[in-house]
Amino acid sequence: MAHWLYKSEPSVWSWDRQAEAGPQGTFWNGVRNHVAKQNLMAMKTGEQGFFYHSNEGKAVVGIVEVIREYYPDHTDESGRFGMVDIKAVKALPRPVTLEAIKAEPGLESMILVNNSRLSVQPVTDEEWAIVCRMGGL
DNA sequence: GCCAACGTTGGC
DNA sequence: GCCAACGTTGGC
């Protein structure tokens, strides 16, 4: 199973709001980048990902799961982009900051470190295990 | 189809 | 608030 990382600015869409949405989840819209789109299209129901707060907080704060695979984004007027539905699974006992990720051996090649602008990123199994451990899971 | 100009993102 | 990195747009 592949793993993912979803970036969001807390002022736009925070982990708290994702958690409040509960098991029925919400759609993850607003992607307007083709690499991110490719990642969205590759997601399968049941795959899990990290929920990352950019700008404010700059930390992985929780784990989410794909509950609906790629379908058109109704907020995209061009009709070129789509989205998936995700639900909150659990919060990390300890948020893992970008600073900690940068300092951790084995995470040097995380996309979060090297291409911070990509809003939906794949995470390798190794990276997933390391960040989960750092987060207290 | 190239590339300069511009806009946006996000870390600092 | 600044600026580097990146993506997109539009003139040629």
A65-116 tens-digit pLDDT: 999 999 999 888 788 899 999 999 999 999 999 999 999 999 999 999 999 8
Instruction: For domain A3-134, give the CATH superfamily.
Output: ph1033 like domains (3.10.590.10)
CA pair distance A8, A65, nearest whole angstrom: 15
CA pair distance A106, A104, nearest whole angstrom: 6
Q: What is the pLDDT of residue A80?
A: 86
Lowest mean pLDDT among A2-6, A60-64, A71-75: A71-75
Is residue A88 a contact partner of residue A62, using CB atoms and an 8 Å limit? yes
A9 touches strand B (CB under 7 A): yes
Q: What is the pLDDT of residues A115-130, one digit of tens each?
A: 989 999 999 999 999 9
A34 touches strand B (CB under 7 A): no
Two structure tokens written together for A134: 């750092």
Q: What is the pLDDT of residue A6?
A: 97
Q: Max Cα separation, chain A?
A: 43
A35 touches strand B (CB under 7 A): no
Nucleotides of B under 7 A from a protein CB: 8-12
CA pair distance A34, A120, nearest whole angstrom: 10
Domain assignments of chain A as residue spans, ordered by start? 3-134
Lowest mean pLDDT among A5-9, A24-28, A39-43, A74-78: A74-78
A109 touches strand B (CB under 7 A): no
Of all helices (H) and strands (E), which one includes residue A87? strand A82-97
